[in-house]
Amino acid sequence: MRYGNFIEQNKNTNTAKKTKSDLNVWKRWSSTIGARRPNEHIPRNELDKLLCHFFINVRKQDGTEFEPSTLTSFQRSFGRHLRDAGKHYCLFNDKEFAKSRQTLESKRKQLRQQGKGQRPNKALGLDQDEL
């Protein structure tokens, strides 16, 4: 068995679907700014700038903001896609993508301040009078 076939056969199908879905969000967003190239064909410095713009401005189709965790999952999907496309750089570590990482974190912070991403706390213990 070839390594590539083995790896391909054992990829998580849900992860592949999520990556494809996130790339469709990228395509939809990039078409609104007139950038129609796939992200693997964009030079690193330009991709970093586009990612900054994406994280600040991307919205759901109904115009509402995405959850902070969804923005992070976009970054992960894009990184996975670039790696699968044979790119030897990393959105999470390489200095060329520091600005987009900072932008993502700032956007996540802004959204949390607006009440997005507020998951309920873990179950609290019962008080003595609630027993």
Q: How far apart are CA 28 and CA 113, in angstroms?
A: 27
Give the global pTM. Answer: 0.81
What whole-number percentage of the chain has pLDDT above 70? 82
Q: Where are the domains of the chain?
A: 13-116
pLDDT score of 69 more than 90: yes
Cβ distance 55 to 107 under 8 Å?
yes
Task: Report the pLDDT value the prediction gives residue 88, as an integer from 0 to 100.
Answer: 92
Task: Report the pLDDT value the prediction gives residue 35, as an integer from 0 to 100.
Answer: 85
- pLDDT, mean over the chain: 87
pLDDT band at 118 (very low <50, low <70, confident <90, very high): confident
Task: Report the pLDDT value the prediction gives residue 127, as an integer from 0 to 100.
Answer: 56
